[in-house]
Structure 1
Amino acid sequence: MSADVMVAGVLAGGLYALIGLGISLVFGVLKMMNLMHGELVIGGAYLASLLVGYAGFDPLLALPFAMLGMAALAYPVQRYLLTGLLRASPNAPLVATFGLSLVAQAVLQAVFGTHPKALNAPYADAGFTLAGVRIQAVYAISFALTIVLCGATHLILTRTRAGSAVRASAADPMTASMLGLNVGRIYALTMAGAAALAAAGGVMTGVAQSFTPTSGLPLLLTGFAVMALAGIGSVGGVLLGGITLGVLQSISTDLFGGGWRNFVVYTVFFLTLSFRPSGLFRRAVPA
């Protein structure tokens, strides 16, 4: 196996980890499977496309605005809809987020149309050679961004008072509420943070490849596969899970062709759930 294939898989895996991090964060804190996560990813790409197309922003400059925009949309949805459903029934948010994903797809189609879009940038197709290995610039940038955001998420969760409140609410929301924590607000902020991470992944995905309003589903499944590999509550595990998935996809594409990429995602997801439901990296990497 050539070094080019392995490096390409590692770098692509960084982008997969960024997509999976928000799913893992929401499930770890809220114990809720968010089926609209793919639309949060694509929504970030579409928000960035407005700034790129109409204001002439570079996608990297548009990225923080897309993150803030998706966070601002996700906060009230969680605060005033999903939290109440979560308290009523653990299964209700699953149905609600599925419905919201369909609504989001319809809105995106109505506003942006169904034609594929991409975020134009000089580094979208550019690359460079390092130690004889060809590297695509967009994936190198997305990998560096993933390292920064994973590190920031880890530090916030483990080294700040806000992170302590999030971990307390995740461990025992009733006790946390009795101690004076506003669990509903913490849940909403967690969803907003996950949406911001999803938007960052969406912007980099939009630079690397084209997207449509229905592109969220394969990205959602990729995020699920990363979370299954990582285990719940492990930021470092999410990074390792994304890299593992990226390498497996890159190898399978090199050996059998691009048609096997999605097959690898589904297979990894189901095999991990069947034989290691706690995740491959849950114990290897602390939260």
Structure 2
Amino acid sequence: MSLDVLAAGILAGGLYALIGLGISLVFGVLGLMNLAHGELVIGGAYLASLLVLGAGWDPLVTLPLVMAGIALIAYPLQRYLLTPLLQGSKTAPLVATFGLSLLAQALFQGTFGTHPKTLPASYASSGLSFLGLRIQTIYLIAFGLTIVLCTVTHLVLTRTRAGSAVRAASADPATAAVLGINVPKVYAMTFAGAAALAAAGGVLTGVAQSFTPSSGLPFLLTGFAVMAMAGIGSVGGVFLAGLTLGVLQSASVALFGGGLRDVVVYLAFFLVLAVRPQGLFRKAATG
């Protein structure tokens, strides 16, 4: 494997880790497989497009506002729709997120049309040369931002009172409620935080590539693959899994062409579930 292929895979893997972190966080805390996660990613891209194409903002400048906006949408969805469903049938929340996915796609299509969009930026197609390697600037930015967001997520979960409440609600919701923790609020805050991470990934992918109302499914499957490889309960594991998936995908494109790009994601997902269902990096990264 050449250094160019390795570098491209690692940098792309940073973006995959950011997308997978939100899915892993929701499943680890709520036990909810969010089938609308891909639409949260695309929602971030479309919300950013309103500011980039409409107001002339730089995509990176829109990041805080887009993350907050998607989180504000996600919070009531979890608090008043998904949390009550979680208290009943285990299949009802899964079906509900599938319905939300279809609804979001219809809203995107009705509002923005079906033509592909991108978020224009000077760093979208530019690159840097380092030790003879050509590195695309947007993926370098995405990698750096992923490190920051993964670190912040880890610190919030392990060093704050809010993180203690999240861990307690995840481990034993009934006992956490007896101890005075507002479990529905913790669930909603967790879902909103995961949505904010997804939105950040959406802004960055919107700069790196085009997107349409139906682009959420590949991001959802990529997130599932990252979560499966990482195992539950490890932010560091999610980061390592994203990098591993990025390198595998980059190597497959170099060896076999772009036609197998998505196939590698699906194969990685199923192989890990079959061989090591607890994840590859659960012990390698305990943070």
TM over 0.5: yes
Q: Given the alignment of the two structures, is residue 241 of structure 1 paired with residue 241 of structure 2, yes or no?
A: yes
Listed one character per residue, the Cα deviations across residues 179-233 of structure 1 (whole Å, up to 9, x for unaligned) are 1110000000000000000000000000000000000000000000000000011
Partners of 1:18 and 1:142 lie apart in 2 by: 9
Q: Given the alignment of the two structures, is residue 26 of structure 1 paired with residue 26 of structure 2, yes or no?
A: yes
Listed one character per residue, the Cα deviations across residues 120-148 of structure 1 (whole Å, up to 9, x for unaligned) are 00000000100111100000000000000
Which residue in the other structure is 2:139 paired with? 139
Partners of 1:147 and 1:89 lie apart in 2 by: 37
Structure 2 letter corresponding to 1:227: M
Which residue in the other structure is 2:255 paired with? 255
Q: How does 1:57-72 map to 2 (within 5 A)?
A: 57-72=57-72
Q: Given the alignment of the two structures, is residue 214 of structure 1 paired with residue 249 of structure 2, yes or no?
A: no
Secondary structure of the 1:105 match is helix
Which residue in the other structure is 2:201 paired with? 201
Q: How does 1:63-102 map to 2 (within 5 A)?
A: 63-102=63-102
Secondary structure of the 1:134 match is strand
Partners of 2:283 and 2:86 lie apart in 1 by: 28
Partners of 1:92 and 1:232 lie apart in 2 by: 22
Partners of 1:91 and 1:10 lie apart in 2 by: 36
Which residue in the other structure is 1:192 paired with? 192
- The structural deviation recorded for 1:281 is 0.2
Unmatched runs of 5 consecutive residues or more in structure 1? none
Partners of 1:89 and 1:40 lie apart in 2 by: 24
Which residue in the other structure is 2:268 paired with? 268
Partners of 2:159 and 2:6 lie apart in 1 by: 34
Secondary structure of the 1:135 match is strand
- The structural deviation recorded for 1:284 is 1.1
Which residue in the other structure is 1:4 paired with? 4
Listed one character per residue, the Cα deviations across residues 239-274 of structure 1 (whole Å, up to 9, x for unaligned) are 000000000000000000001110000000000001
Structure 2 letter corresponding to 1:214: S
- The structural deviation recorded for 1:25 is 0.2
Structure 2 letter corresponding to 1:68: A
Unmatched runs of 5 consecutive residues or more in structure 2? none
Listed one character per residue, the Cα deviations across residues 77-120 of structure 1 (whole Å, up to 9, x for unaligned) are 00000000001122210000001000000000000000000000
Which structure 1 residue ranges, 4+ long, deviate > 4 Å from structure 2? none
Q: Given the alignment of the two structures, is residue 121 of structure 1 paired with residue 121 of structure 2, yes or no?
A: yes
- The structural deviation recorded for 1:46 is 0.2
Identity of aligned residues (%): 72
The alignment covers a number of residue pairs equal to 287
Secondary structure of the 2:135 match is strand
Secondary structure of the 2:120 match is coil
Partners of 2:82 and 2:25 lie apart in 1 by: 16
Secondary structure of the 1:277 match is coil
Partners of 1:47 and 1:66 lie apart in 2 by: 6
- The structural deviation recorded for 1:64 is 1.0
Q: How does the TM-score come out when normalised to structure 1? A: 0.99
- The structural deviation recorded for 1:54 is 1.1
Which residue in the other structure is 2:152 paired with? 152
Partners of 2:207 and 2:117 lie apart in 1 by: 10
Partners of 1:63 and 1:114 lie apart in 2 by: 24
Which residue in the other structure is 2:231 paired with? 231
Partners of 2:42 and 2:130 lie apart in 1 by: 31
- The structural deviation recorded for 1:63 is 1.1
Structure 2 letter corresponding to 1:204: L
Secondary structure of the 2:181 match is coil
Partners of 1:3 and 1:150 lie apart in 2 by: 25
Secondary structure of the 1:129 match is strand
